[in-house]
Chain A
């Protein structure tokens, strides 16, 4: 039985229908008749060109456009010599679709996991000096609205000392109405006056400050920046986009785990300083409640949105209070007044401030 194939030689567009026949050694074939170049051609030079296993179209190595197409299933002695049609790509065809998908899925999960773990690792690799420079640059514009009174600074210092702040940390109060606080890289902590005015006792400020000091101790700010900006932070030169980074930190959405870490730090340091954690819990509860009433939204949303609040967090602070413990206020009444009046005379930062 003779088998005819559709054949293009890649030189002209004319279609020929020669007979395909095996040579004596069974590894080559010839194309006979209809003006086709007879060959012989090696089966090993054939390249599959079909898109499914139903199609048996083949090209020839080194001859672009050369084709033979079997119109029906080829005789078995030819069929066994033909290369298998590709389907998903060479490697996947070799391993099989489902096995490949399984292996690739595991690899993908690993890559994702490593990528998620990478920001803290990179953040820790950034030298302290660079981090401090970044922090100073980010605070840059805000520094103009920092409030300074001798009494106020003394009070701030006393509060920080009670919370056992580490070395190389700078705490500023900035005259802006935001109920917010932020820890920039390099130990640059900023408390906004709006937060201090909203607080009903120094212990509330102490709780928030301790939380921010926790972010500093864990280097969360740097990690958050690395997470958001990736390597462009290091390669692109951070000077050109410093305000962008500052705003990103101001609106940073830390993960639940990061927040819990900073809360843990805060609770521990409040405890060690013998400051009651209950006012901090109350502050959280109050902010959440005030937020529900419309009208205050613009002012309060900030702190809440950047520090996702759950009743669990509030309860954690409340639960950490030791019954019958002799807590002492974190600041004396005169110190507290000094802190509250710190920004009374300073120039207020414009609303909607962009750092």
Chain B
């Protein structure tokens, strides 16, 4: 079976009316279980969203369970947070001793602590993606990875640090190469994902994001000095409400503009990395432009504010619908050759870290 698809390989067929009973019963059950039901709530939401996502001629299927997510959470607390708390305890003890040697040891321990958290964060991102792919079925075939993600964690560690060290100028490079690295380790069915995105062309938008705060602060200072100079009585000015107003306005402009510019960067980033992704003979494209992202954000903001927060139960729905509606696939998929994934079978015995669910794709 060979198919050629120009547009509409992906389609989202859900409706919020259909999702609402799921969302509200999730909310209710999460409240009465003091949050424990959250794991099952997320599973039910994903089951719905996946099942309303058509790819070519059949729907996706989510087979993850709430129990897996909870077990993953418990394991993370046991193997991650408790040791970290213990390290902090030791650090506190060393600092209390007050000798230079103890202080040095505490500093070293603090550095190691920070590195461990950063590196494990990378592992968690990798494993969350692996978990999601391994629980996603289409035509009875799933995805996954044989990689444990520890090498990715190391890579995440040094690339993030390098990205930050060079005055943050290498951040786009770090983001894109890490995206490539984790997706190149993933597969679906018999095919490996191939991610070849480059950070070319992202730098302009990133520089805008990078330089805007500096420019705004300089402008703000100039405006403030100018206002003080033109005021007939400077003492009056400093006491007045104008100063407060000025700072409030500046604050507002600063964060609104910064938010817009960061959207402008991330829109380009997502288009670029998804355009660089392929699976077998399939190529992908993401069509959301900055304006689309802005509409999504403003819509979500309005939804949450106008419903006094209750609308936030629809955020996952909105994000997924947005993602699928802007995702395109081109090329051919030979179903004869589309065999089951040979990656380690999900479920029992699988590293429980898998369930750690930090970020989306």
Contact B340 A12 (CB under 8 A): yes
Residue-wise interface mask of B (1-12) relative to A, using a CB-CB cutoff of 8 A (1 in contact, 0 not): 100000000000
Contact B340 A11 (CB under 8 A): yes
A9–B140 CA distance with the chains assembled, in angstroms: 7
CB-defined contacts of B61 to chain A, threshold 8 Å: 49, 57, 67
B143 to chain A, nearest CB (A): 11
Subset of 11 A-B contacts with CB under 8 Å? A8-B140, A12-B335, A51-B44, A51-B51, A88-B29, A101-B28, A108-B33, A235-B85, A236-B92, A237-B89, A240-B93
Contact A13 B92 (CB under 8 A): no
With a 10 A CB-CB cut-off, give which of A51, A92, A107 has the most chain B CB atoms. A51
B137 close to chain A: CB less than 8 A: yes
Partner of A240, one of B37, B66, B95: B95
With a 10 A CB-CB cut-off, give which of A9, A59, A88 has the most chain B CB atoms. A88
A97 close to chain B: CB less than 8 A: yes
Point out residues on B near A: beta carbons under 8 Å.
1, 25, 28-29, 31-34, 37, 40, 44, 47-48, 51, 57-58, 61, 63, 66, 85, 88-89, 91-93, 95-96, 137-142, 189, 335-336, 338-340, 345-347
A66–B91 CA distance with the chains assembled, in angstroms: 52
A230–B124 CA distance with the chains assembled, in angstroms: 28
A352 close to chain B: CB less than 8 A: no
Contact A108 B32 (CB under 8 A): yes
Count residues of A near B (Cβ-Cβ below 8 Å): 36
Within 8 A of B (CB), among A85-137: 88-89, 92, 97, 100-101, 104-105, 107-108, 111-112
CB-defined contacts of A37 to chain B, threshold 8 Å: none
A65 close to chain B: CB less than 8 A: yes
Within 8 A of B (CB), among A191-216: none
- Given that A11-B339, A101-B28 are known contacts, is A239 also in contact with B34, CB under 8 Å in the complex? no
Partner of A89, one of B32, B40, B91, B140: B40
A241 close to chain B: CB less than 8 A: yes
A295 close to chain B: CB less than 8 A: no
A64 close to chain B: CB less than 8 A: yes
- Given that A88-B40, A104-B32, A237-B89 are known contacts, is A10 also in contact with B51, CB under 8 Å in the complex? no
CB-defined contacts of B137 to chain A, threshold 8 Å: 65
A107–B33 CA distance with the chains assembled, in angstroms: 8
A101–B81 CA distance with the chains assembled, in angstroms: 32
A162 close to chain B: CB less than 8 A: no
A51–B47 CA distance with the chains assembled, in angstroms: 6
A55 close to chain B: CB less than 8 A: yes
CB-defined contacts of B32 to chain A, threshold 8 Å: 101, 104-105, 107-108
A77 close to chain B: CB less than 8 A: no
CB-defined contacts of A107 to chain B, threshold 8 Å: 32
Within 8 A of B (CB), among A40-73: 49-51, 55, 57, 59, 64-67
A55–B25 CA distance with the chains assembled, in angstroms: 19
A345 close to chain B: CB less than 8 A: no
Nearest first, the 4 closest Cβ-Cβ pairs linking A and B are A240-B92, A8-B140, A13-B338, A13-B139
From DSSP, what is the main secondary structure of chain A's interface residues? Answer: mixed
Kindly list 9 other residue pairs between chains A and B, CB separation below 8 angstroms, not including A13-B139, A13-B339, A235-B89: A10-B340, A12-B336, A67-B140, A88-B29, A89-B66, A101-B29, A237-B93, A240-B88, A240-B95
Q: A-B contact count, CB below 8 Å?
A: 100
CB-defined contacts of A12 to chain B, threshold 8 Å: 141, 335-336, 338-340
A2 close to chain B: CB less than 8 A: no
Contact B140 A104 (CB under 8 A): no
CB-defined contacts of A9 to chain B, threshold 8 Å: 140
Which residue of chain B is the closest to A47 with respect to CB atoms? B63
Partner of B141, one of A49, A65, A105: A65
A14 close to chain B: CB less than 8 A: yes
CB-defined contacts of B345 to chain A, threshold 8 Å: 64
Contact A239 B96 (CB under 8 A): yes
A304 to chain B, nearest CB (A): 25
Contact A239 B29 (CB under 8 A): no
Partner of B1, one of A14, A55, A105, A235: A14
B19 to chain A, nearest CB (A): 10
Partner of A88, one of B25, B139, B338: B25
Which residue of chain A is the closest to B92 with respect to CB atoms? A240
A218 close to chain B: CB less than 8 A: no
Partner of B92, one of A51, A88, A239: A239
A112–B34 CA distance with the chains assembled, in angstroms: 9
B34 to chain A, nearest CB (A): 5
Contact A111 B335 (CB under 8 A): no
Contact A13 B96 (CB under 8 A): no
B15 to chain A, nearest CB (A): 13
A10–B48 CA distance with the chains assembled, in angstroms: 21
Contact A88 B140 (CB under 8 A): no
Residue-wise interface mask of A (241-275) relative to B, using a CB-CB cutoff of 8 A (1 in contact, 0 not): 10000000000000000000000000000000000
CB-defined contacts of A51 to chain B, threshold 8 Å: 44, 47-48, 51
Which residue of chain B is the closest to A102 with respect to CB atoms? B32
CB-defined contacts of B140 to chain A, threshold 8 Å: 8-10, 13, 65-67
Which residue of chain A is the closest to B345 with respect to CB atoms? A64
A211–B346 CA distance with the chains assembled, in angstroms: 62
A313 close to chain B: CB less than 8 A: no
Contact A92 B51 (CB under 8 A): no
A1 to chain B, nearest CB (A): 25
CB-defined contacts of B335 to chain A, threshold 8 Å: 12-15
A101–B63 CA distance with the chains assembled, in angstroms: 25
CB-defined contacts of A97 to chain B, threshold 8 Å: 25
